[in-house]
A and B are shown apart, each in its own frame.
Chain A
Amino acid sequence: MKTKLLAIASVTGLAVALSGCGGGDSGGSDSTLTVTMWGGAAQKAHVDSYFTPWAEANGVTIKQDSPTDYAKIKAQVEAGKVTWGLTEVEPNFANTACESGLLEKLPQDIIDKAKASGVAEEQIGECAIPILQYSFTIAYNTKTFSGDHPKTWAEFFDTRRFPGKRGFWKYATGGMFEAALLADGVKPDELYPLDIDRAFKKLETIKKDIVFYDTGDQMTQMLASGEAPLVQAWSGRIYQARQEGEKVANEWNENLVSYDQIAVPKGYPNKELAFQWMRWFLDNPKAQAADADASIYGPASENALQYVSADVRKELPGHPANAEKAIGLVNYDYWAEHYDSVTERLNAWIAQ
């Protein structure tokens, strides 16, 4: 009986394996475009809003992949077998990757078009244009801080006046160094280049109260449960949690604006198709606005803001009330240069 089972299992297994031998990469067909982003509901919103309409209008098949993995990009480019077309990346990666030849340089007309459509110039790279915006805000638990809550990073770092743990993104570009320096009294326009030593000294003062998160879920969990009633958070996620009934809220004062970009790995066979999409994207603020409504991420072009629904617009970094409270933009040129070394120092500091 048992040997029969084994035999059946092995035959099935082999048959299944042989039959499933299909697949293989197909980035080469003329009207296929592979889009890779961070996955999940956000990717669905992005694709539905500004990839599918363009693809349908132009007879292009969109293939989706997720999540973005920089090691895969590097491996693909080195091997000369690039399958990823439009890829959502972080700006410091885009900067370094552009310099080391991992990304296609954008045609000049796209860069000009981006500037013309109201994209902030600092956010445009040689190889990438912005795709969405968000802010690092002071997020607080509304139950713990029902009355008074920290309104500046200095107050955020004041554990005596506002006791409780502090949540930070375990990521060098997650805004903690900027927040620490601002809390220590550095003026916003003197922020970069960051004085990392000074930032670490400030972080050291609340080290025993710091809890780190790696993912958006952890961030919302720790804030909503009260484990860390104050978190340096991503604005959009906090708003979404609030809509679900969680007792959390954003404090927009001294918010730090950040963004993601979209780029094309070098050697992608259909790069012209990718560039075509970019031109369409920059010409279609309504599609960007639709994405903002669905994903609660700010649009890349400023002229798309007017099409975003009023409720959502209030939660975007581009909204005037939020923008005037902003400290400024995360400087990804600085981070392109210093990401590696600061990450090492962060690892060492955390492990102590």
Chain B
Amino acid sequence: MTKILTRTGLAVLAALIGVYLILPILIVVPMSFSDSSFLSFPPEKLSLRWFRNLVDDPVWLESAWASLKVALASSVCSVVLGVLAALALVRGRIPFRNTIIAVLLAPLIVPYVIIGLAAYIAFLQLGLTQTTLGFVLVHTCLAVPYVVINVVAGLVAVDRRLEMAAMSLGAGPVTTFFQVTLPLILPSVLAGGLFAFFTSWDEVVTAIFLSGPEVTTLPVQMWSGIRVQIDPTVAAISTLVLLVVFGSFLILGLTRLIRRLARRRVTGPATNTGA
């Protein structure tokens, strides 16, 4: 009985939290169809002018593409480096452990404006400003603590005996890692990777330093006019991004469904073996 009560209570709470999470979306999407040149909700007059602006002005899609490239590359780099570091922290012996942990966490603690300025001053000399590589280098630094913290939490729960069993059966350490450990910590790795991706995707402070006419990321494009007036196109591109993501998930889900249905038809009711 109490189980049902707690379960229903949980469900209600989770539903409220779910609404809380998507609350901004429920406001942003209608906002993107507003005709006003000020961000307003609820929209009084509807129009598609901000979506037309996305098509007319190439900077929006260009900067979105740049952001995507940077975010993908940074998350891959930070996952690789971060997983290795997490393995070392949980399993290894490291001199100056506390100091190294501090260094690994520092990008999270130091204000991004300071990191941005520091990187900018250094990169000006190295010619790395306004380059995708410069972005990836800095964003990897920012993203890595997210990966490390998540993967460490995941590694701690791994039963070492599974690994030892694999090794005793002849698997080398690398094979053991990929076949045994990695699948076990995959949720944490994915969580860390997701955080890394979004940290880079939405990052604006260091991006403002690193951006320029050559390379600009989407957040900079969104923020650049904020002093005087936010361009309502930002609502349109947010809606567009959501549509793309939602659409791809839908397509993924549909293809899986279709494949499952197709398989059922192929392996359908038993037929005579001769055919």
In contact, B229 and A2 (Cβ under 8 angstroms)? no
In B188-226, the 8 Å CB interface with A consists of 208-209, 211-215, 223-226
Of the listed residues B38, B128, B209, the one surrounded by the most CB atoms of chain A closer than 10 A to its CB is: B38
When the two chains form the complex, which single residue of A14, A24, A69, A245 contacts B214, counting CB atoms closer than 8 Å? Answer: A24
Known: A16-B73, A17-B69, A64-B213. A237 touches B124 (CB 8 A): no
Known: A41-B37, A42-B228, A75-B117. A16 touches B213 (CB 8 A): no
When the two chains form the complex, which single residue of A16, A40, A78, A221 contacts B225, counting CB atoms closer than 8 Å? Answer: A40
Chain B residue with minimal CB distance to A9?
B76
Count of chain B residues with a beta carbon within 8 Å of a chain A beta carbon: 47
Chain B residue with minimal CB distance to A81?
B124
Chain B residues, Cβ within 8 Å of A39: 224-228
* Interface assignment of B75: CB less than 8 Å from any CB of chain A: yes
Chain A residues, Cβ within 8 Å of B70: 17, 20
When the two chains form the complex, which single residue of A25, A76, A246 contacts B38, counting CB atoms closer than 8 Å? Answer: A246
* Interface assignment of A162: CB less than 8 Å from any CB of chain B: no
The CA of A121 and the CA of B129, in the complex, are separated in Å by: 38
In B48-76, the 8 Å CB interface with A consists of 66, 69-70, 72-73, 75-76
* Interface assignment of A23: CB less than 8 Å from any CB of chain B: yes
Known: A25-B212, A65-B212. A13 touches B76 (CB 8 A): yes
The smallest C-beta distance from A70 to any residue of chain B, in angstroms, reads: 11
In contact, A65 and B183 (Cβ under 8 angstroms)? no
When the two chains form the complex, which single residue of B39, B72, B117, B214 contacts A13, counting CB atoms closer than 8 Å? Answer: B72
In contact, B131 and A23 (Cβ under 8 angstroms)? yes
The contact size tier of chain A is 35 or more
* Interface assignment of A199: CB less than 8 Å from any CB of chain B: no
Known: A75-B120, A221-B38, A244-B38. A38 touches B225 (CB 8 A): yes
In contact, B76 and A14 (Cβ under 8 angstroms)? yes
Chain B residue with minimal CB distance to A84?
B212
* Interface assignment of A83: CB less than 8 Å from any CB of chain B: yes
The CA of A170 and the CA of B211, in the complex, are separated in Å by: 27
In contact, A81 and B125 (Cβ under 8 angstroms)? yes
In contact, A40 and B229 (Cβ under 8 angstroms)? yes
When the two chains form the complex, which single residue of B36, B69, B136, B215 contacts A244, counting CB atoms closer than 8 Å? Answer: B36
* Interface assignment of A21: CB less than 8 Å from any CB of chain B: yes
Known: A13-B73, A41-B229. A24 touches B224 (CB 8 A): no
Chain A residues, Cβ within 8 Å of B166: none
* Interface assignment of A345: CB less than 8 Å from any CB of chain B: no
The smallest C-beta distance from B228 to any residue of chain A, in angstroms, reads: 5
* Interface assignment of A351: CB less than 8 Å from any CB of chain B: no
In contact, A17 and B225 (Cβ under 8 angstroms)? no
Known: A40-B228, A42-B228. A21 touches B131 (CB 8 A): yes
The CA of A13 and the CA of B66, in the complex, are separated in Å by: 12
When the two chains form the complex, which single residue of A26, A72, A216, A237 contacts B120, counting CB atoms closer than 8 Å? Answer: A72
In contact, B39 and A217 (Cβ under 8 angstroms)? yes
When the two chains form the complex, which single residue of A22, A63, A64, A215 contacts B226, counting CB atoms closer than 8 Å? Answer: A215
Known: A21-B133, A41-B225. A14 touches B209 (CB 8 A): no
In contact, A10 and B76 (Cβ under 8 angstroms)? yes
In contact, B228 and A26 (Cβ under 8 angstroms)? no
Query: Per-residue CB proximity of B107-131 to A under 8 Å, as 1/0?
Result: 0000000000100110011011111
Chain A residue with minimal CB distance to B189?
A6
Chain B residues, Cβ within 8 Å of A20: 66, 69-70, 73, 132-133
Chain B residues, Cβ within 8 Å of A13: 72-73, 75-77
In contact, B73 and A17 (Cβ under 8 angstroms)? yes
Known: A10-B76, A65-B212, A83-B212. A3 touches B227 (CB 8 A): no
The CA of A165 and the CA of B262, in the complex, are separated in Å by: 66
* Interface assignment of A57: CB less than 8 Å from any CB of chain B: no
Chain B residues, Cβ within 8 Å of A23: 130-132, 214-215
Known: A3-B182, A16-B73, A72-B209. A217 touches B229 (CB 8 A): yes
5 contacts between A and B (CB under 8 A): A24-B127, A38-B225, A41-B225, A66-B224, A79-B121
Please report A residues at the B interface, Cβ cutoff 8 Å: 2-3, 9-10, 12-14, 16-17, 20-26, 34, 38-43, 63-67, 69, 71-72, 75-76, 78-79, 81, 83, 215-217, 220-221, 224, 237, 240-241, 244-246
Please report B residues at the A interface, Cβ cutoff 8 Å: 36-39, 44, 66, 69-70, 72-73, 75-77, 80, 117, 120-121, 124-125, 127-133, 136, 178, 182-183, 186, 208-209, 211-215, 223-231
Further contacts, 12 of them, CB under 8 A, given A71-B117, A215-B228, A221-B38: A3-B182, A9-B76, A24-B131, A24-B214, A25-B212, A25-B214, A75-B124, A81-B124, A81-B125, A217-B230, A224-B38, A240-B37
- In the A-B complex, the 10 residue pairs with the smallest Cβ-Cβ separation, listed nearest first, are A40-B225, A17-B73, A13-B76, A20-B132, A39-B224, A39-B225, A63-B213, A66-B224, A23-B214, A23-B131
